[in-house]
Amino acid sequence: MWNFLFKMIGTELNKAVKHLKAGELVGIPTETVYGLAANGLDVNAVLKIFEAKERPFFDPLILHVNNLEKVNALILSFDLRLKKLADAFWPGPLTLLLPKNQLVPDIVTSGLNQVAIRIPNHPLTLSILEQLNFPLAAPSANPFGYISPTTALHVNKQLGEKVAYILDGGACEIGLESTIVGVEEGKVCVYRLGGLSIEQLEAVVGEVTLKVNLSGDPKAPGQLKSHYAPTKPLFHGDLEKLFNQHRGKKLICLCFGEPPPFKDRVRILNLSPNCDLQEAAKNLFGFLRQADELDGDVIIAQNLPMLGLGLAINDRLKRAAVN
Ligand code: TXA
Ligand code: MG
């Protein structure tokens, strides 16, 4: 039984490469979250991604490669400030929006002129990319709208039946998706908060413009209002207020630092007892999954400090929340 469940999870690079070359889906590890990968230049392979995730076609995909030469082969030009960011942070949790050339199928970009590209920082995936002469299209390996996976088991649980293989690269180092950056009206803009902080970006290119919003506008990258959501109702904000509002229900509490004083009928999951935002980021999606599986009615999640990765963590919690 177990053997059957786990037969397609492993660390065999050759298997992953073979399936990808055959146009099939493979779960791949990255430093941010696990991706659901396929040949990004093969329309039929890309279609399988949308189908498996039940993802709407208006939500474009990120292409992954292992070096700048391969990036340049997919684009018309490289804005100098974006190039500076690439030089500073690739391989790493940064996705750049760049003008695509004719090699990139329209289905990848949902018909937009720009393609999202990144060089991920994970040794196994870099090694696969090195062996492929095409980029990998890879959204997070979760059903559309659900919590992103940060372990191979998370991928197996939800998409196991839909992939040919899952490459197990351990738990993701960062645990939040990449930060998405582009240029609009001459300004460097951030479209999705993620594993690279605003402070880190600004240290390289100066002030950036936040274009992150909570509207339902699907053209705004990665910014659908309801996303990253557990199936239990989640409320995000001041813990004490939320506790009082939901008194009497069985609560699961996601906190940060000093745990809250209330204990009755509350299960506490501490994202980082030592107030380390990187640790909190790494724990976030796994804890949300745990919270979803635990016995309880409602999840209440603390608003984290608005600095460094705190912005991206709060962003994900807001999108997961019903309030
Ligand atoms: O960390 C990550 O970025 C992970 C790993 C697997 O690399 N991938 C990921 O992909 O988070 P996904 O598909 O879950 O989120 C990518 C977001 C989408 O919400 C999409 O709207 C935006 O990037 N995006 C992709 N291509 C775009 C484009 N051409 N223009 C604007 N937004 C784009
Ligand atoms: Mg996603």
CA of 68 to the centre of ligand 1 (A): 19
Distance from chain centroid for Cα 51: 18
* β-strand pairing of 179-184 with 187-192: antiparallel
Mean pLDDT in each 10-residue stretch from start to end of the chain (323 residues)?
66 98 98 98 98 94 98 98 98 98 98 98 98 98 94 96 97 98 97 97 98 62 65 95 93 95 87 98 97 95 98 95 90
Neighbours of 187 (CB within 10 A): 12
Cβ of residue 116 lying under 6 Å from some atom of ligand 1: yes
**What pLDDT, on the 0 to 100 scale, is given for residue 263?**
72
CA of 64 to the centre of ligand 1 (A): 11
Query: Locate tokens 């177990």: which residue?
Result: 2
Ligand nearest to the CA of residue 224, numbered in listed order: 1
Distance from chain centroid for Cα 297: 26
**What pLDDT, on the 0 to 100 scale, is given for residue 1?**
45
